[in-house]
């Protein structure tokens, strides 16, 4: 058949599309379970990282908290998982771990469900809140662990989809995340989160709700600021209820 005829070109294109579609679909579906497992394990690892750190003691030895180890230890440390509505009431029908924040934050606030994890580690209680917002290029997200006072940050983990390596992507590094440790999220009676500030001169001040930004990553830093303020404020009703119930017990 003439290679330049229309019929040949059509037949070739259609066959090529079919072959490529079959190969890629087969590959995607066969690898999907493994990919989903990686994502679930990483989520567990991130949640635990906020209050456990990078390593954990197992049988008297300090070992790295890998994805596999985190998935084994998750149920041991996480005592409660809450799915909350905007009034701070728990929604029993929803599994907190399965909530996809990416789709959730697109809904009106009244319809959103806010996941929260209550953890116990070394005799202390922590509350881990998932975060999600926008960086310079794409989505950024993270997990923040609050101490028992529901105000002081114990630890924080950030991640991103497409921030620039060496600049915005540095939000995933320990030295940047360390800056948030012991910062307060409440300013008086309001949740303000922590602001990433360019040219910060506050040194090690943990009460000013500010941390130093990364040079060359102003937009990503602003994204982190907005994400923290917007997400954390949504938990205020639940925090107030929790504080009141604690006061009532005392």
Partner 1 sequence: MSEQKKEIKTKEEKKKEEMILFLSKSEEKEAFLSRANRKLLTDPLNDDNPITVQMLGICSALAITVQLRPAIVMSLAVIFVTAMGNVVISLLRNLIPNRIRIIVQLVVVASLVIVVDQVLKAFLYDVSKQLSIFIGLIITNCIIMGRLEAFALGNKPWKSFLDGIGNGAGYGIILIIVAFFRELLGSGKLLGYEILGHKGLTLADSTGLYALGYENNGFFLLSPMALIIVGLVIWYQRSRNRKLIEES
> Nearest distance from residue 210's CB to partner 1, in Å?
16
Give bridge partners of residue 125 from the DSSP assignment: 120
* Burial label, 124 (beta-carbon count in 10 A; 0-12, 13-18, 19+): exposed
From the list 34-42, 52-60, 81-89, 238-246, the region that binds partner 1 by CB under 8 A is 34-42
Please provide residue 190's backbone torsions phi and psi, each rounded to the nearest 5 degrees: -110, 145
- Applying CB under 8 A, among 14, 18, 22, 31 the residue interacting with partner 1 is 31
Smallest gap from residue 23 Cβ to partner 1 (A): 7
For residue 46, give every residue at least 6 positions away whose Cβ sits within 8 Å of its Cβ, in sequence order, or none. 142, 143, 157, 159
Cα distance between residue 215 and residue 199, in whole Å: 9
Residues contacting partner 1: total by CB under 8 A: 31
User: Is the Cβ–Cβ distance between 199 and 215 less than 8 Å?
Assistant: no
Rounded CA separation 116/84 (Å): 8
Question: Which of these ranges, 13-21, 56-64, 76-84, 112-120, lies near partner 1 under the rule CB under 8 A?
Answer: 13-21
Tell me whether residue 177 is exposed, middle or buried, using C-beta atoms within 10 angstroms of its C-beta: 0 to 12, 13 to 18, 19 or more.
Answer: buried
The interface mask with partner 1, positions 74-113, x = CB under 8 A, is ----------------------------------------
Instruction: Please select the residue that binds partner 1; options are 68, 72, 138, 205, rule is CB under 8 A.
Output: 138
Instruction: Write out the binding residues for partner 1, residues 181-240 only, by CB under 8 A.
Output: 215-216
Q: Are strands 78-84 and 195-197 parallel, antiparallel or unpaired?
A: unpaired
> Does residue 4 touch partner 1 according to CB under 8 A?
yes
Stretch that binds partner 1, among 22-30, 48-56, 86-94, 193-201 (CB under 8 A): 22-30
Asked if 20 interacts with partner 1 (CB under 8 A), we say yes
| 231 vs 157: CA distance, rounded Å | 14
Alpha-carbon span 24 to 20, nearest angstrom: 6
State in angstroms the smallest separation of the CB of 102 from partner 1.
16
28 sits near partner 1 (criterion: CB under 8 A): yes
Rg for the chain, CA atoms, rounded: 22
Site string for partner 1, 151-180 (x = CB under 8 A): --------xxxx-xxxx-------------
Q: Which residue has the tokens 């130093």?
A: 212
Positions that interact with partner 1 (CB under 8 A): 3-4, 8-9, 12-13, 16-17, 20, 23-24, 27-28, 31, 34-35, 38, 42, 67, 137-138, 159-162, 164-167, 215-216
């Amino acid at each position: 058949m003439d290679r330049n005829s229309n019929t040949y070109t059509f037949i070739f294109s259609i066959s090529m599309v079919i072959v490529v579609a079959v190969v890629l679909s087969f590959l995607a579906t066969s690898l999907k379970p493994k990919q989903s497992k990686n994502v679930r394990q990483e989520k567990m690892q991130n949640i635990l990282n906020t209050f456990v750190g990078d390593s954990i003691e197992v049988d008297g030895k300090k070992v790295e908290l890998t994805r596999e180890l985190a998935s084994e230890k998750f149920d041991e440390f996480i005592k409660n998982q809450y799915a909350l509505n905007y009034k701070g009431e728990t929604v029993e029908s929803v599994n907190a771990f399965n909530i996809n924040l990416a789709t959730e934050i697109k809904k009106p606030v009244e319809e959103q469900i806010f996941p929260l994890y209550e953890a116990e580690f070394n005799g202390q209680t922590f509350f881990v809140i998932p975060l999600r917002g926008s960086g310079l290029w794409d989505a950024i997200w993270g997990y923040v662990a609050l101490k028992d006072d529901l105000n002081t940050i114990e630890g924080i983990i950030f991640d991103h989809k497409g921030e620039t390596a060496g600049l915005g992507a540095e939000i995933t590094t320990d030295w940047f995340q360390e800056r948030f440790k012991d910062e307060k999220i409440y300013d008086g009676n309001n949740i303000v989160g922590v602001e990433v500030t360019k040219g910060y001169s506050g040194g090690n001040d943990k009460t000013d709700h500010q941390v130093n930004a990364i040079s060359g990553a102003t937009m990503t830093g602003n994204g982190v600021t907005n994400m923290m303020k917007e997400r954390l404020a949504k938990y205020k009703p639940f925090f107030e209820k929790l504080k009141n119930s604690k006061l009532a017990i005392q």
